[in-house]
Structure 1
Amino acid sequence: MSVLKNLKNLASDSLIYGLSGILTRFIGVFLTPIYTRVYTPDDYGVIGVLTNAFILITIFLVFAMDNSTARWFYDTEVSEERKRIINTWLWFYLFISVIATVFFFFTANYWAALVLDDYADGAYLIKLLALTLPLLVLPSIGVNVLRFERKARRAVFLSLYQSLILIGFNILFVVILKKGVAGVYYAQLWGAILTLPVAIYFLYTWIGLPSWFDWVKFKEMLRYALPFVPASLGYWVVNLSGVFFINEFLPKSEVGLYQIGISIAAVSALATTSFQQAWSPFAFSILSQPHAKEIYAASLQLYVFVIGFICTLISVFAFEALVLLTTPAYYGAALVASMLTFNYLLMGLTNIAGLGASIAKKTAPLGMISLLSAGLLVALNLFLIPLYGKEGAAFAICIAQLIIPIYMFWKSQQLYFIPYKFLKNLAVFAAFIACSIASYHLPIVGFFSTILLKVILLLVTFFLIAWVNKEELYKIKSILKVRYSVR
């Protein structure tokens, strides 16, 4: 298959995932003005703590077996073998999720006192979250299996359906029934219940009895997954634990502002996540093609140019987004949002950086650097948050996240060399960061006049990058035009 066709397939899959994300995020952004008028920054602080704790629990439940399943799935074309691989993950995930539900339901009082201090309904909220855990197993596996099959439209439909149901229940419980913070978790529980039958519909040909669980495959997959667990924990520490550090040093209102900053920055995840969802199945599926390495190198260039510009756009206009979507009580989240936008860019870059290690089935380097990154973040948080508040936490995350793709590119190149253009891509990345920093030093001359100045700054940056990198852009254009036939 030609380089052109492969890149078009990657772009097509990314676009499909991206359109889903755009629709879902649009609805979520539409609800932000409502929620910021229902909840105080203190309420957002509680939601932020519970949300990030829930993600931490999910990391242990998944136990990185999704990565193993993806890798083993493409090792065979035999349907029965693939079904055993899927069911090995499914029954493992379901079993430990049920155990976790029982554990957290009956120890809710302890965890509420630990992470929510004196919040009145803390134990009740944790019980609601605990009941949700096993209900999310099949939807999660369903989306992944559809991605493995390269059925992007069906995967997007399932994800989008789940998001729309969740948003609908949020409107019902939070806005109409006025259930307060508990409304968020009623919505999650009922959203999971109504998503379950749709997930079963998409998975019914894959779901088998517990006898389809394969102990031999499980041991192999577990060995592959183990290094991803500290990597996932490191990811959580680097990207999500800041809420807990801020909660320790600062008032709940600052936690809420930080959480709003994450929400604004997460708009950039429309671009980065859509690419990530398409990237792994795409990269593994073309591994045996003769021009694979050239395609991988071109993909990095496209990612830095296109996704980098989108993230910079969101970073530059973070304050204006807060003005349009929230109340003045939340405007203080602007700088946090701008900084965390680049964290999402780095997270997506890590997927590309670790490709060589994944191809070689060497996952230990990712686990090691993720733990080192997490340790660095803890140290930076302890130092920067007392000095610079929530902005210090955002800066700490970006620094700790940066070392992961740097190391993974270095290690992956040793295991599976790809002809990346590192200096050119680094220069583009630095230019985008400089543009974002410069936007905060523009003169304040009124809301719309400031927007105009920022637009001019972005255009100047874009054309400067295009001029300096015209040779690389020409090569990318040539790759997109010239067909390389498989020999």
Structure 2
Amino acid sequence: MKKLFHKLAGDTLIFAIGNGATLLISFFMVPIYTRILSTSAFGVSDLINTTVNMLLPVVSLNIFNAVFRWALDIENNKNEVFSNGSVLTGIGFIISVISGTIIYFLGIQYWWTVGFYLGIILTLNHFQNFARGMNFVRLYAMSGVVISIVNVISNVILMIIYNFGLNGYLLSLGISNFCGVIFLFFSGKFWRFWDKNLVSKSIIKEMLAYSMPMIPNSFTWWMTNDISRLIILAFVGPSGNGLFAIANKIPSLLSTGFTLFQNAWQISAVETSKYRSVSKIYSITFNITLNLLLLGSGVMLSIIKLFMHYYVSSSFFKAWEFVPILLLTAVFSNVSAFLGTTYLVAKKTKGLFTTTVWGTIINLGLSFALIPVLGVHGAGISGAVGFLVVSILRLKQTAKWINIRIKWGTTSLMMLGYASLASIVYLNDNLIFVKVIILVLMIAVLSIYLKSVKNISNSIY
């Protein structure tokens, strides 16, 4: 048990070192973006990223998820996994570039960016997931560092020196991710794993049988997570979408931190599934993750107004109002993603789709009902409710093979603490002493649970 958690902590640290650079650099570039780009331009850039995320699972057939899972299994031929995954990735790359170029010449602005950026992201995901599956965690992490450094340099050159504005921002995304692809290919010597003789229709079919059921899940996940941006665009306008995008930068810190852990957990979860005490291990990990997310959200919320005052230009300051509910949305989104790992480990990916559909239906319905009335606040509320429903459904569904028990006493107290902080921020943010007391109490509650976990974990083998 201790060995498992030590490995999980070690892998998480490595991912944090690499991807943490990406997080910090992209996060602290926002003040530059908000001073160069208007709220409308920033909203357009956010929609382009959203569009690429939407198309990614469709064009790639989600093959990179199969590459990761197949590469994890010791008995699988790694050259076979890489070669078959590369064929489908290459086809997706060609389709995305050609389609984007054609649509652009038909008069739809920025689609050349979508086409090329999508093709690059397809390849990057393939290489990164193969690296993770091979347990090349340091290589995977360093690719994030390379992407971040190149992104900053290209942003400075294209946006500050040459003042290319939105076009400079978009070019920087493509250039930096392309450099990540080149780094992985040569540093990982991935050409060693390519063998055209190992390309097999039967292997491709087997991998697609795993990955394709995740396509509708990924698409509906996008709808649950990002469709509100398009509804905001329709009812509020590009400026509202720009504010929403900036407000989401704060919860994205939380989500990125979770993703660092999730990348490591997906590797450890396969090993964990072999333990007799798998349900206890999952329960402990789940409860620690959930309550750390709530504590992290509380810390961010307590300083949000002060932080936004220095973080963004005055035209974006209003975005702080949307952060409290968006942080809660991020918590539920991350919880549902954690539960989604159990489907991947068990190779029961069809269940991912059914649960996500319900979240999407609820999010869509609430978005259309609330955004016209409440504006951007409506998007946050609909997202939080949608992901909460997905989490509940997945918790019940996965209980068939892994019974995760929630520590309701600890979680309820942490939720109460967060709700109290949110109320103070909205009603009287000057109650600094009260906010400190609440945070100290939340830390105490979590510490008590961690102490009990230490005693339990000593008896698990």
TM bin (shorter chain): over 0.9
* Of 186-195 and 164-173, the range deviating more from structure 2: 186-195
Hey, what's the Cα distance between the residues in 1 that align with 2:360 and 2:214?
14
Hey, what's the Cα distance between the residues in 2 that align with 1:437 and 1:378?
25
Hey, what's the Cα distance between the residues in 2 that align with 1:441 and 1:132?
39
Following superposition, the deviation at residue 330 of structure 1 comes to 0.9
User: Residue type matched to 1:254 in 2?
Assistant: G
Hey, what's the Cα distance between the residues in 2 that align with 1:284 and 1:428?
32
Following superposition, the deviation at residue 325 of structure 1 comes to 0.7
Hey, what's the Cα distance between the residues in 1 that align with 2:322 and 2:269?
33
Hey, what's the Cα distance between the residues in 2 that align with 1:211 and 1:432?
59
Hey, what's the Cα distance between the residues in 2 that align with 1:208 and 1:356?
30
Give SS of 2:165's match: coil
Following superposition, the deviation at residue 442 of structure 1 comes to 4.6
Aligned to 2:89: 93
Aligned CA distance change for structure 1 residues 195 and 365 (closer, same or farther; 3 Å): closer
Aligned to 1:476: 453
* Matched-pair contact (CA < 8 Å) for 2:12–2:261: yes
* Matched-pair contact (CA < 8 Å) for 1:304–1:425: no
Hey, what's the Cα distance between the residues in 1 that align with 2:409 and 2:13?
25
Aligned CA distance change for structure 1 residues 203 and 137 (closer, same or farther; 3 Å): farther
User: Residue type matched to 2:207 in 1?
Assistant: M
Which of the residues 454, 468, 476 maps onto 2:435?
454
Which of the residues 398, 402, 406 maps onto 1:421?
406
Aligned to 1:331: 317
Aligned CA distance change for structure 1 residues 360 and 27 (closer, same or farther; 3 Å): closer
Aligned to 1:139: 124
* Matched-pair contact (CA < 8 Å) for 1:269–1:344: yes
Hey, what's the Cα distance between the residues in 1 that align with 2:338 and 2:155?
35
Which of the residues 20, 23, 42 maps onto 1:44?
42
Aligned to 1:130: 115
* Matched-pair contact (CA < 8 Å) for 1:377–1:397: yes
Hey, what's the Cα distance between the residues in 2 that align with 1:135 and 1:359?
27
Aligned to 2:416: 431
User: Residue type matched to 1:394 in 2?
Assistant: G
1:289 aligns with 2:275: yes
Aligned CA distance change for structure 1 residues 109 and 379 (closer, same or farther; 3 Å): farther
Which of the residues 264, 268, 271 maps onto 2:254?
268
Following superposition, the deviation at residue 242 of structure 1 comes to 1.4
* Matched-pair contact (CA < 8 Å) for 2:146–2:179: no
CA shift digits 1:251-283 (9 cap, x unpaired): 211111011011122111232111111111110
Following superposition, the deviation at residue 156 of structure 1 comes to 0.5
1:55 aligns with 2:32: no
* Matched-pair contact (CA < 8 Å) for 1:314–1:338: no
Hey, what's the Cα distance between the residues in 1 that align with 2:79 and 2:153?
34
Aligned to 1:182: 167
Aligned CA distance change for structure 1 residues 28 and 76 (closer, same or farther; 3 Å): closer
**More relative contact order in 1 or in 2 (CA 8 Å, sep 6+)?**
1
The gaps in structure 2 that reach 5 residues or longer are none
> Normalising by structure 1, what TM-score?
0.88
Aligned CA distance change for structure 1 residues 378 and 111 (closer, same or farther; 3 Å): farther
Hey, what's the Cα distance between the residues in 1 that align with 2:120 and 2:195?
18
Which of the residues 5, 8, 19 maps onto 1:7?
5
User: Residue type matched to 1:332 in 2?
Assistant: K
Alignment of 1:314-325 (within 5 A): 314-325=300-311
1:105 aligns with 2:101: yes
* Matched-pair contact (CA < 8 Å) for 1:238–1:401: yes
User: Residue type matched to 2:139 in 1?
Assistant: R
User: Residue type matched to 1:94 in 2?
Assistant: G
User: Residue type matched to 1:177 in 2?
Assistant: Y
* Matched-pair contact (CA < 8 Å) for 1:143–1:159: no
Which of the residues 228, 231, 255 maps onto 2:217?
231
Alignment of 1:387-406 (within 5 A): 387-406=373-392
* Matched-pair contact (CA < 8 Å) for 1:267–1:314: no
* Matched-pair contact (CA < 8 Å) for 2:301–2:323: yes
* Of 248-257 and 125-134, the range deviating more from structure 2: 125-134
User: Residue type matched to 1:402 in 2?
Assistant: L
Following superposition, the deviation at residue 484 of structure 1 comes to 5.0
CA shift digits 1:26-83 (9 cap, x unpaired): 22232222221111111111112212112112121232222222333334435xx222
Following superposition, the deviation at residue 320 of structure 1 comes to 2.3
Give SS of 1:354's match: helix
Following superposition, the deviation at residue 425 of structure 1 comes to 5.7
Alignment of 1:24-39 (within 5 A): 24-39=22-37
The gaps in structure 1 that reach 5 residues or longer are 113-122
Hey, what's the Cα distance between the residues in 1 that align with 2:287 and 2:446?
12
* Matched-pair contact (CA < 8 Å) for 2:97–2:119: yes
Aligned to 2:349: 363
CA shift digits 1:349-396 (9 cap, x unpaired): 123323443343222221012122112211111100011001111111
1:344 aligns with 2:330: yes
Hey, what's the Cα distance between the residues in 1 that align with 2:194 and 2:429?
62
Aligned CA distance change for structure 1 residues 372 and 206 (closer, same or farther; 3 Å): farther
Hey, what's the Cα distance between the residues in 1 that align with 2:43 and 2:166?
11
Following superposition, the deviation at residue 97 of structure 1 comes to 1.9
User: Residue type matched to 1:21 in 2?
Assistant: N
Give SS of 1:107's match: helix
Following superposition, the deviation at residue 432 of structure 1 comes to 4.6
Following superposition, the deviation at residue 401 of structure 1 comes to 1.0
Hey, what's the Cα distance between the residues in 2 that align with 1:346 and 1:413?
18
Aligned CA distance change for structure 1 residues 174 and 189 (closer, same or farther; 3 Å): same
Hey, what's the Cα distance between the residues in 1 that align with 2:207 and 2:277?
29
1:198 aligns with 2:183: yes
> Normalising by structure 2, what TM-score?
0.92
Hey, what's the Cα distance between the residues in 2 that align with 1:24 and 1:59?
22
* Of 23-32 and 7-16, the range deviating more from structure 2: 23-32
Following superposition, the deviation at residue 431 of structure 1 comes to 2.6
Aligned CA distance change for structure 1 residues 271 and 195 (closer, same or farther; 3 Å): closer
Task: Determine what percentage of the aligned residue pairs are the same residue.
Answer: 18
Hey, what's the Cα distance between the residues in 1 that align with 2:412 and 2:84?
45
User: Residue type matched to 2:111 in 1?
Assistant: I
Aligned CA distance change for structure 1 residues 441 and 185 (closer, same or farther; 3 Å): closer
Alignment of 1:242-257 (within 5 A): 242-257=228-243
Following superposition, the deviation at residue 346 of structure 1 comes to 1.9
Hey, what's the Cα distance between the residues in 2 that align with 1:342 and 1:54?
25
Aligned to 2:18: 20
Give SS of 1:440's match: helix
Hey, what's the Cα distance between the residues in 2 that align with 1:243 and 1:439?
28
